[in-house]
């Protein structure tokens, strides 16, 4: 039997939520329906898409590869349905967009793809830079909207921000690390470990403040602006990392496994949001972009 669109939808939901329970809540259906659909999909493909264990499940390497195909299939189906809908006036105009480094590869691509499908006639220009410079461009009217980390937004008097995603920090470990099997992991457990530090946006600042506040001096083994470098270094045992869950992927580029675990205590969260200048009259293209981001957030949290 060939797999169905519904099976793909359920599979993508589980992969994105990291849990059958959360996927079922998000889709407002029973857990058994999702479990059965995913199992039928695995049988049809002849591969395991998830590793099951007492803590829950982790997507496999085959599952990670199939996720890209499943996401594209669902997007193509959505486009096909839209092509038969009633013709609407073609939206035109320009959208001047800013994005911070961490957000560019993990949040913007999905938003931009959805926006381009909804408004193919709008010309989009985007710039990637640090948060401070993007704030300067927004206040000066050179950008319509920025998609950026807003946890440490500086000029809140002049800028309006709306959260579209909140991501907690989690611990990244190589396969076989002693902490992988620990029931509870505390900050003290990781303070003595070599740390791979990501230096984009506010990540280094937040991690350093967290460890310092708890009396632990971070033992930084390597600093890098590349998330892929962090994955490779962690996967090969060069150190551990504390990073927001939105950038977690279970495999390095070399195909080595990376484990992710919760850490007890009050860890910071990264807030990603839409930012624009207060009191400004946003062009229609910018309002449409903000609307798509709001709809995406509603779909994740409903």
The highest-confidence range among 55-59, 73-77, 239-243, by mean pLDDT, is: 239-243
Say whether pLDDT at 295 is over 90. no
Residue 301 pLDDT: 42
Of all helices (H) and strands (E), which one includes residue 222? strand 220-224
Tell me the mean pLDDT in the region 198-224.
77
CATH C-level class of 166-270: alpha beta
Computed on alpha carbons and rounded to an integer, the radius of gyration of the chain in Å comes to: 21
DSSP bridge pairs for 258: 174
- Write the class of the CATH domain 93-165+271-301: alpha beta
Asked if the domains 93-165+271-301 and 166-270 are classified in one and the same CATH topology, the answer is yes
At 100, give phi and psi (nearest 5°): -85, 165
Q: What span, in angstroms and rounded, lies between the C-alpha atoms of 297 and 19?
A: 18
Confidence of residue 87 (pLDDT cuts 50, 70, 90): low
Return the CATH fold of 5-83: Arc Repressor Mutant, subunit A (1.10.10)
Mean pLDDT, rounded, of the chain: 85
Look at residue 117 and tell me whether its pLDDT is greater than 50. Answer: yes
State the pLDDT confidence band at 116, using cuts at 50, 70 and 90: confident
pTM of the model: 0.69
* 3-state SS class at 261: strand
Question: Is the pLDDT at 86 greater than 70, yes or no?
Answer: no
- Residues paired with 159 in a beta bridge: 277
What are the domain boundaries of the chain? 5-83, 93-165+271-301, 166-270
Of 261, 272, 206, 267, nearest to 234 (Cα)? Answer: 261
In percent, the amount of the chain with pLDDT more than 70 equals 90
């Amino acid at each position: 039997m060939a797999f169905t669109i519904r099976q793909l939808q359920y599979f993508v939901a589980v992969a994105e939520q990291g849990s059958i329970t959360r996927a079922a809540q998000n889709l407002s259906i029973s857990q058994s329906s999702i479990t059965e659909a995913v199992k039928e999909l695995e049988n049809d493909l002849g591969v395991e898409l998830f590793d099951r264990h007492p803590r829950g499940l982790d997507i496999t390497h085959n599952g990670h590869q199939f996720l890209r195909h499943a996401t594209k299939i669902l997007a193509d189906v959505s486009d096909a349905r839209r092509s038969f809908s009633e013709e609407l006036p073609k939206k035109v105009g320009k959208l001047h967009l800013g994005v911070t480094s961490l957000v560019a590869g993990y949040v913007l691509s999905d938003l931009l793809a959805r926006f381009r499908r909804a408004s193919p006639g709008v010309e989009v220009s985007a710039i990637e830079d640090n948060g401070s410079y993007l704030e300067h461009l927004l206040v000066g009217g050179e950008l319509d909207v920025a998609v950026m980390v807003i946890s440490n937004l500086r000029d809140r008097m002049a800028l309006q921000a709306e959260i579209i995603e909140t991501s907690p920090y989690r611990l990244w470990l190589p396969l076989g690390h002693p902490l992988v099997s620990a029931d509870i992991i505390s900050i003290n457990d990781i303070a003595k470990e070599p740390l791979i530090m990501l230096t984009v946006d506010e990540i280094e600042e937040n991690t350093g403040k967290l460890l310092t506040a708890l009396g632990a001096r971070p033992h930084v083994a390597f600093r890098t602006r590349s998330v892929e470098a962090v994955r490779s270094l962690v996967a090969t045992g060069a150190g551990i990392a504390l990073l927001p869950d939105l950038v977690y992927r279970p495999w390095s580029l070399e195909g080595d496994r990376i484990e992710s675990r919760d850490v007890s205590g009050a860890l910071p969260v990264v807030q990603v949001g839409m930012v624009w200048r207060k009191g400004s009259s946003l062009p229609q293209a910018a309002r449409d972009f903000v609307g798509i981001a709001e709809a995406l957030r509603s779909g994740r949290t409903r």
